[in-house]
Amino acid sequence: MGILKRIKSITMAEINKLLDQVEDPINMLSQYMREMEEEIAKGQHALANQIFLEKRQLALIIDTEEVLAKRERQAKLAVTKGEDNIAALALQEKLLQEKKRGLYKEQYEVIKGQTNLLEEKINQLKEQYNELQHKRLLLLSRANVAQSLKQLDNAVVSLNTDNIARGFARAEERIVMMESKIEANTRLSNISPSSSYAIDPSLQEEVQKQLAQLRETAKETSV
């Protein structure tokens, strides 16, 4: 039973971790930028295909114009030789090619317009991407500051401030004791040996009288 409960707890923890990662603003920004990069890449691929179609359509126009010029030369040459049937066939082919050229040109203009529109959209997307990239850097900076402040707040909350305050007080007491010992040693070292024998001024007269008496007594004893 305990094992099953433990497995359930681990599973829920992993799920919550994944949810936190999904809701992480940094991951969200990165995901948005990746999606835009993918769209830009798709747009550039589509533009490459569109340019290819445009060039192929232009090649059809050029080929048609070459055929037109060739049929016109053939018609002129046939007329000079008196071959009217051949000239008529050449002119007929020329008319057909002119119609094709007109159709190809219309299609070319449509394709070219689509190419320009697609290129414009891609450039707009790139500009928007660059703007969002700069904004992303700013948001990353703000998120970093917010995360740092959150960690600092958590550190302050997790600290036992009462114990720290008492520890500082004990350290201060020890430092004061050390300073007091140093000051005491300094004071003792400044006292001269003779200063310990100094006579109190208020008792000096009485001391001198008794000292004189002791001297008299010492003289009488010595005689």
Instruction: Give 81-124 as a DSSP string.
Output: TT-HHHHHHHHHHHHHHHHHHHHHHHHHHHHHHHHHHHHHHHHH
Question: What was the pLDDT predicted at 159?
Answer: 60
Q: What is the mean pLDDT of each run of 10 residues along the chain (223 residues)?
A: 52 52 70 90 93 95 94 91 90 92 95 94 92 85 80 67 76 83 74 56 75 75 65
pTM of structure:
0.54
Residue 47 near residue 122, CB atoms below 8 Å: yes
Q: How far apart are CA 54 and CA 43, in angstroms?
A: 16
In Å, what is the CA distance from 183 to each residue of 156, 178, 179, 188?
A: 38, 9, 6, 9
**Residue 209: its pLDDT value, please?**
76
Q: What is the pLDDT of residue 1?
A: 47
Kindly give, in sequence order, each residue whose CB lies less than 8 Å from that of residue 76, ignoring residues fewer than 6 positions away. Answer: 87
How much is the pLDDT for 212?
75
Say what the pLDDT of residue 3 is. 52
Q: To the nearest 10°, the Cα dihedral for 107, 109, 110, 112? A: 120
pLDDT number for residue 19: 44
